[in-house]
Structure 1
Amino acid sequence: MEAHSASYLRWIVVLLLVSSCIEATSFSKVKHKNAYATMMYVGTPRDYEFYIAVRVLIKSLSALNVEADLVVIASIDVPHRWTQALEQEDGAKVVRVENLDNPYKHQNNFDRRFKLSLNKLYAWSLVDYDRVVMLDADNLFLQKTDELFQCGQFCAVFINPCVFHTGLFVLQPSMEVFKEMVHELENGKENPDGADQGFISGYFPDLLDKPMFHPAPNGTKLNGSYRLPLGYQMDASYYYLKLRWSIPCGPNSVITFPGAPWLKPWYWWSWPVLPLGLHWHEQRRQTLGYFAEMAVMLIQSAIYLGIIAMTRLVRPSLSKLCYRQSDKSINLVHNSLKLVALWCIVAAYVIPFFIIPYTVHPLLGWSLYLLGAFALCSIVINTFLLPMLPVLVLWLGIVGTLMVMAFPWYPDGVVRALAVFGYAFCYAPILWASMVKITAGLQLSLEREAFLPRLGEPWPPSSFKLY
């Protein structure tokens, strides 16, 4: 009984906070009777990336001159400097809300990325608006979609044949509906995925049987629930199959990226794996720009260029760090150094990938990655006295892979995939041969008396070579 009372009091507090937020929104002078809304919360490793994505979404909608307010439903723990930028620089209305407690967080199939995704239900509390189009941050608008405000009380797109997608939906705000949703959360309504997708799908279970939405020419608002044409939520996967859109039902207006979280369009490595990533970055270039990441990019570039310059001037070896105490231990020393050298080569290709700002333009990101990998490989080459070309075979292979993927004249995605597979098949023997060459070169360096002198023998002249 005490636990139930505490839960009830918690939801009362949430409703009071919602009421205060709505009053604040009303006070901020609503300009339009409709709104595009998205949400923002923190507490995941990808908070900054989604902050950038929300800003690009808001600015791209502004660039389309939509006749609606732009609203961001932000949890109270979102940094003030972020909400201030959204309001002052992007022209959005920020509604601060308390995070809704997720009662499904202990389910076996629960994904912690969606712990706060139920904040999307606050869209029904925006009662100053007649209609709201609720959006995820990974939507890419190709054209103006204000006709969606003519839809009914709830409208969504069926990307999955049986389950509609909550990345974009139209709703009529209602405090009654919002309170009922909160009540069902409190009672633990069944939710297959523990996120907003499962909850909202369960709240509107009969949408599949509803008619298709077709906007009236005179702008009349419809009543009831409708299915939206697929063109309002085009899954990027459809594009990758044919490398063009083939969606005849409704206008091709909005692209969504519901796939793997590490292949969202704002990540620099998503292109050319996902060709549509350039479309998103083109919108960012035209709206938000890349000023925030340029300082880090320039610093990293300067460091890499400095490394390349130093390795051209000085060629160190590990001879002064290694001794042969006896012939019995020489094999152990050789094998240990071989393992260290191979791991250093791997690290040279891995480290630059993770320190590049995630949301930079793909052309900048890949250029910096290749520069960083080359710089770190040059350290390994000169430290272990390895031949340059075998160590850089993987570097050349990555460049070739990018060129094969980015080739613009493939007739469809199947041919593109076959071309990448064919390239990998032909490249694999070259990579293997380079590994053999690296091992042989390393063995040759280890066997030199100048590289590993015996204990007690005088050191040879300095192995630092100036060019």
Structure 2
Amino acid sequence: MENRNGKTAQFRLSVALFWVSTLLTGAAFSSHAAHAPLKGTLKANAYATMLYMGTPRDYEFYIAARVMLGTLVRFQVDADLVVIASESVPPQWQKTLTDEGAKVVVVSDIQNPYANYRNFDKRFLLTLNKIYAWSLTEYQRVVMLDADNLFLRAPDELFQCGQFCAAFINPCIFHTGLFVLQPSNETFSNMMHDISIGKESSDGADQGFLASHFTDLLDRPMFHPPADGSRLDGLFRLPLGYQMDASFFYLKLKWRVPCGPNSVITFPSVPMLKPWYWWSWPILPLGLSWHEKRVATIGYETESPVLIAESLFYIFIMLVALIIRQRYACSEKSSMSRITCFGRGPCAEKKLCHPWAIKLIILALVAGSFRLPFYMIPTTVHPLMGWGVFLLGSFCLLTVVNTAFQLPDLPVLTPWLGCIGALFTMGSPFYASGITRGLGIGIYVAMITPFLWWAAKRVSGVVHAKVYWEPLMAWNSVRSEPASETLMKLC
């Protein structure tokens, strides 16, 4: 028995050290990525985006804006990069954006007259700041961008478009994640007047407001850039290739957008599945494409030390748990003839609580073993790094639960093994289409469910079969021997 526990401890330690070495390699690889700022005189045109504060995800959108602008730098676009930043944006963020080649224009927040409307989404409270793009009159054309755009190429031909151009993802309402405009003080003043009088808006955000301002865009001609490089006048619809909704990808798992060059991917989906969140992959496969852009631009220098610290913390608590487990195993031989608890040691003389209460406690601790690592990981790390720390943390915490209640190893680790299987199933690159991917996920769920049910019944049976229990009964014996000697036995 002692030999078996020693081998189990060595296996757990080996798994943990493997994850840490993998994370250290990934952190070292990603921490050197950077991009050079654009230099030179004022350009005739600009790509612009905006930043404001007041949402729970301000930092994530700041990172997203840096990656998007860094991608444009790498494509060597022939335009300035402008960030329309609220006064509340931290000065350090503004400095970082400037150092990375952007021109930061600080503005006062436009008060949203629709904030008190029923069903108004507070996330869009300051999106009307996008109107400031019309005040950038030093430029002939501006391409206004949301931070969740992923560029596949440099679409500089957009600067040949007219006074206002946008794409229709919705068949009837144009999308404002990317649009082309001609800056004009007159247009800016008219829009500010419409805001002040509370002109009708379908959603109280920038999209509803602009849709009410350019009401006939659906009837305008499609934009085709002139071969001679000249600029067009008027309003135009942009081909869908300039705003490819990421959801179009998931049906065929490839891009088949025949309308214009496939240039820009946008992610107007569930906010918590934006591509920069590490957990969005492999649920949505395009998350890796966004992180490839981040690796090539700003890297992960900020998050890497946090991941390393978390990994070392998990290794430490698992080592403590294994030391206690080893001492517990050593105490079994001297206690086999006495009343046992979980069949492995001396028990308390009275029943501490009902078995169902113990089952609920174990269930809560197992669930917490997954939830705690999930919430501790920085949200915008690379998915492979995020899932690596998540699996390491949950593995170590499950080891603690296993040690505390002396549960069988495999049933406790079955949900953890199921997570690994789910990652491989969803992340497999061999699916021919989104339909086959969905079928594969469904088959995996059907296959893993009986194993999870077996694991739950196995743990429940072990707990229910024992009337008396006393967690961590070997603690006194652990204290009687130096931890360094026990650690040497594990090795």
TM-score in terms of structure 2 length: 0.83
Match for 2:177: what amino acid?
G
CA contact (8 A) 1:30 1:128 kept: no
> 1:55-134, aligned counterparts within 5 Å?
55-88=66-99, 90-134=100-144
Q: Distance in 2 between matches of 1:243 and 1:303?
A: 39
Contact 2:87 2:106 in 1 (8 A): yes
Deviation beyond 4 Å, 4+ runs, structure 1: 316-320, 322-325, 459-467
Query: What is the CA–CA distance in structure 2 between the aligned matches of 1:296 and 1:462, rounded to whole Å?
Result: 34
What does the per-residue CA deviation read over 1:294-322, in whole Å, with 9 as the maximum and x for residues that have no partner? 110110010111122222111399999x9
**CA offsets per residue over residues 105-145 of structure 1, 9 Å max, x none?**
11112111111111111101101100000000000000010
Are positions 1:34 and 2:53 aligned together?
Answer: no
Task: Tell me the distance in 2 between the aligned counterparts of 1:299 and 1:403.
Answer: 26
Partner of residue 272 from structure 2, selected from 252, 262, 265:
262
Q: Give the alignment partner of residue 407 of structure 2, picking from 386, 399, 407.
A: 386
Equivalent residue letter for 2:323: L
In the superposition, relative to structure 1, how do residues 133 and 332 fare at CA in structure 2: closer, same or farther (>3 Å)? same
Give the secondary-structure state (helix, strand or coil) at the position aligned to 1:248. coil
How far 1:56 moved relative to its partner?
Answer: 0.6
- Aligned to 1:370, the other structure's residue is in SS state helix
For residues 43 and 61 of structure 1, do their structure 2 counterparts lie closer, same or farther at Cα, with a shift above 3 Å needed?
A: same
Q: Within the alignment, does 1:166 sit opposite 2:176 as a pair?
A: yes
Task: Give the whole-Å Cα distance in 2 for the aligned partners of 1:223 and 1:96.
Answer: 30
Q: Tell me, which stretches of 5 or more residues in structure 1 are unaligned?
A: 1-27, 453-458
Q: Does 1:51 align with 2:38?
A: no
Q: What is the Cα-based RMSD across aligned positions, in Å? A: 2.3
Q: 1:427 aligns with which of 419, 432, 448?
A: 448
| Deviations 1:60-96, CA, capped at 9 Å, x for gaps | 10100000000000000100000001002x1100000
Match of 2:398 among 359, 377, 383: 377
Distance 1:323 1:228 in 2: 75
Number of aligned residues = 427
Residues 1:451 and 2:470 are matched in the alignment: yes
* Post-superposition offset of 1:324: 6.4
Deviation per CA, 1:14-68, whole angstroms, max 9, x where unpaired? xxxxxxxxxxxxxx99610100000001111111111111111111101000000
Distance across 2 between alignment mates of 1:427 and 1:84: 50
Distance 1:460 1:53 in 2: 50
Deviations 1:138-180 (A, max 9, x none): 0000001000000000000000111110000000001111111
Q: 1:365 aligns with which of 386, 410, 413?
A: 386
CA distance in 1, matches of 2:44, 2:176: 22
Identity %: 53
Mapped pair 1:307 → 2:317? yes
Alignment equivalent of 1:296, drawn from 279, 300, 306: 306
- Write the distance in 2 (CA, Å) between the matches of 1:426 and 1:51: 41
Q: Does the residue aligned with 2:265 lie in a helix, a strand or coil? A: strand
Q: Is the 8 A contact 1:152 1:224 kept in 2?
A: yes
Q: CA deviation at 1:337?
A: 2.2
Counterpart among 433, 436, 446 of residue 412 in structure 1: 433
CA deviations 1:228-258 (Å, max 9, x no partner) are 0000000000001100001111000000000
Whichever residue aligns with residue 106 of structure 1, its letter is N
SS in 2 for 1:71: strand
1:278 aligns with 2:288: yes
TM-score by length of 1: 0.88
In structure 1, distance between residues paired with 2:442 and 2:117: 39
**Counterpart residue number, 2:461:** 440
In structure 1, how many angstroms separate the alpha carbons of the residues matched to 2:296 and 2:210?
A: 34
- Superposition deviation, residue 463 in structure 1: 6.7
Give, as a single letter, the amino acid of the residue that structure 2 aligns with 1:50: F
1:364 counterpart SS class: helix
For the 8 Å contact 2:98–2:104, the answer to whether it is kept is yes
CA distance in 2, matches of 1:460, 1:366: 33
Tell me the amino acid that sits aligned with residue 427 of structure 2.
A
Q: How far apart, CA to CA, are the structure 1 residues paired with 2:349 and 2:168?
A: 69
Three-state SS of the structure 1 residue aligned to 2:372 is helix
Please state whether the residue corresponding to 2:354 is helix, strand or coil: helix
In structure 1, distance between residues paired with 2:147 and 2:402: 44
**1:10 corresponds to which residue?**
none
Supply the distance in 1 between the matched residues of 2:106 and 2:272 (Cα, whole angstroms).
28
Contact 1:30 1:69 in 2 (8 A): no
* Preserved CA contact (<8 Å) 2:324 2:474: no
**Using a 3 Å threshold, how does the CA distance of structure 1 residues 362 and 243 change in structure 2: closer, same or farther?**
same
Query: Equivalent residue for 1:12?
Result: none
CA distance in 1, matches of 2:426, 2:378: 22
Matches within 5 A, 1:135-284: 135-284=145-294
